Amino acid sequence: MTETIDIKVTRIKESKLPGVDFDNIPFGRIYTDHMFMADYIDGKWQNFEILPYGPLELDPATTTLHYAQSIFEGLKAYKSESGETLVFRPFANFERLNKSAERMCIPEVPKELYEQGMKALLEIDNDWIPEEVGKSLYIRPFVFGTDDFIGIRPSDNYKFMIITCPVGSYYAEPVSVKIETHYTRAAKGGVGYAKTAGNYAASLYPAKLAAQEGYQQLIWTDGQDHKYIEESGTMNIMFRIDDTLITPHTGDSVLPGITRDSVLKLARDWGYKVEERKISVDEVVKAAQEGRIQEAFGTGTAATIAHIKKIGYEGADYELPPIKEREWSNKFLKELDMIKYGQAEDKFGWNYKL
């Protein structure tokens, strides 16, 4: 039996919602009225609270500010045509959160804390969930160490929080990507499979250099030899080559994406040929040169499906087929959107209904 947690609620005096232009909601810039918070003190989770969204007071020696002992997740809530609130695969994110926690020496977040905290927050800020297809409420659970101690060891105390923000499309148009063969995102034995802050900090400089060359994202390669494709900056990556859907297998240097898993389940259910395996840079470049890449796209919570229009490698750019010709990725996007908004059968039981 699931234990019910006692959540203290302090509501905002005046909602910010009337001042929000839902026709102009840049990703990750506008936050809802409230946030959820809990503390890990003396070996247990406590102080469950929903309070007005606002700044935190942190000691300058807070361990996370110095040693990045921090993990997070990203998922979305949608409004169905009948007005139901549907959260897409929240327990897959819960499982991944705790895998990240284990790798980063952070105490496990109990399921009842994660579920009930999220549910209570979404119920209070339910009017913030956009009703228009193509828009949603982004949910960001995160955990970080809070000891006021400058020393390299796991924190004894932690804070678990959930914040939310209404969002539209992450990418307004198909993206150009560059295969990165110098800088490394993650290495074997590292924390690449964990959704931890340091992974993203390490990617910023190479991504900045790529942006100066006109690319929106990088395709990361293995940290040892830079011979094999791993993932992109904000998403996993897939190729349709010769009517086969190919994606790098997950390991300790690749994040196990929830959208990635959803696409693979749909592909297999539809009878598509699917391969999860090592895919070399040479194989991708050769297929691009020969015109055998029918589609290339990223998968992730923020973008769902991000079409890749161009792949750059060693000074050469390889243009890919027009978006309208991409039968598989367009079908994945349409089906996932229909499931998320309650317009199609949820045969895999992915949606969590409030």
Summarised one tens digit per residue, pLDDT across range 319-336 is 999 999 999 999 999 999
Distance of alpha carbon 13 from alpha carbon 10, whole angstroms: 9
Residue 189 has pLDDT above 80, yes or no: yes
Residues 6+ apart with CB under 8 A from 319: 309, 310
145 vs 63: CA distance, rounded Å: 6
Q: How many other C-beta atoms are found inside a 10 Å radius of the C-beta of residue 46? A: 11
What is the chain's mean pLDDT, rounded? 96
Question: Residues 170-187: what's their mean pLDDT?
Answer: 92
The answer to whether 333 and 299 have CB atoms below 8 angstroms apart is no
Angle made by CA atoms 125, 57, 27, in degrees to the nearest 5: 45
255 to 104, 171, 320: CA distances (angstroms)? 14, 20, 25
What band does 237 get if pLDDT is binned at 50, 70 and 90? very high
Query: Does pLDDT of 226 surpass 60?
Result: yes
- Mean pLDDT on 88-95: 98
Q: What DSSP state is assigned to residue 280?
A: B
Considering the segment(s) 8-167 as one domain, its CATH architecture is 2-Layer Sandwich (3.30)
Share of the chain above pLDDT 90, in %: 94
Question: Could you tell me which of 203, 233, 222 has the C-alpha nearest to residue 278?
Answer: 222
Q: How confident is the model at residue 169 (pLDDT cuts 50, 70, 90)?
A: confident
pTM listed for this prediction: 0.96
pLDDT at 141 over 70: yes
What is the tens place of the pLDDT at every residue in 247-272?
A: 999 989 999 999 999 999 999 999 99
Per-domain residue ranges for the chain? 8-167, 175-340
What mean pLDDT do residues 216-221 have? 96
Query: What integer pLDDT is reported at residue 2 of this predicted model?
Result: 72
Task: Assess whether pLDDT exceeds 80 at residue 343.
Answer: yes
Residue ranges in the chain assigned as alpha helix (H): 63-67, 90-103, 111-124, 197-212, 258-269, 281-289, 327-340
For tokens 């990045």, name the residue: 68
Q: Is the pLDDT of residue 303 over 90?
A: no
Please answer whether residues 143 and 109 qualify as being in contact, where contact means their C-beta atoms are separated by less than 8 angstroms: yes
Contact 20, 32 (CB under 8 A): no
Q: What is the CATH number of domain 175-340?
A: 3.20.10.10
Helix axes 90-103, 111-124, angle to 10 degrees: 130
Does residue 153 register a pLDDT over 70? yes
- Per-residue pLDDT at 18: 96
Q: What is the pLDDT of residue 3?
A: 86
For 173: left if phi > 0, alpha if psi spans -120 to 50, otherwise beta; the answer is beta
Residue 213 predicted with pLDDT over 80: yes
Which of 74-78, 130-134, 326-330, 337-341 is the least confident region? 130-134
For residue 205, is pLDDT > 60? yes
Mean pLDDT, to the nearest integer, of 90-108? 98
- If one compares 65 and 170, the residue with the highest pLDDT of the two is 65
Higher pLDDT, 169 or 221: 221
65 confidence band (pLDDT: 50, 70, 90): very high
Q: How far, CA to CA in Å, does 192 sit from each of 100, 135, 146, 150?
A: 10, 29, 23, 25
pLDDT at 97 over 80: yes
Q: Does residue 17 surpass a pLDDT of 70?
A: yes
**H helix runs in 125-214, sequence order:** 197-212
For residues 183 and 173, give the distance between their C-alpha atoms in angstroms, rounded to a whole number. Answer: 26
User: In which band, very low, low, confident or very high, does the pLDDT at 170 lie, cut at 50, 70 and 90?
Assistant: confident
> How large is the C-alpha radius of gyration of the chain?
21
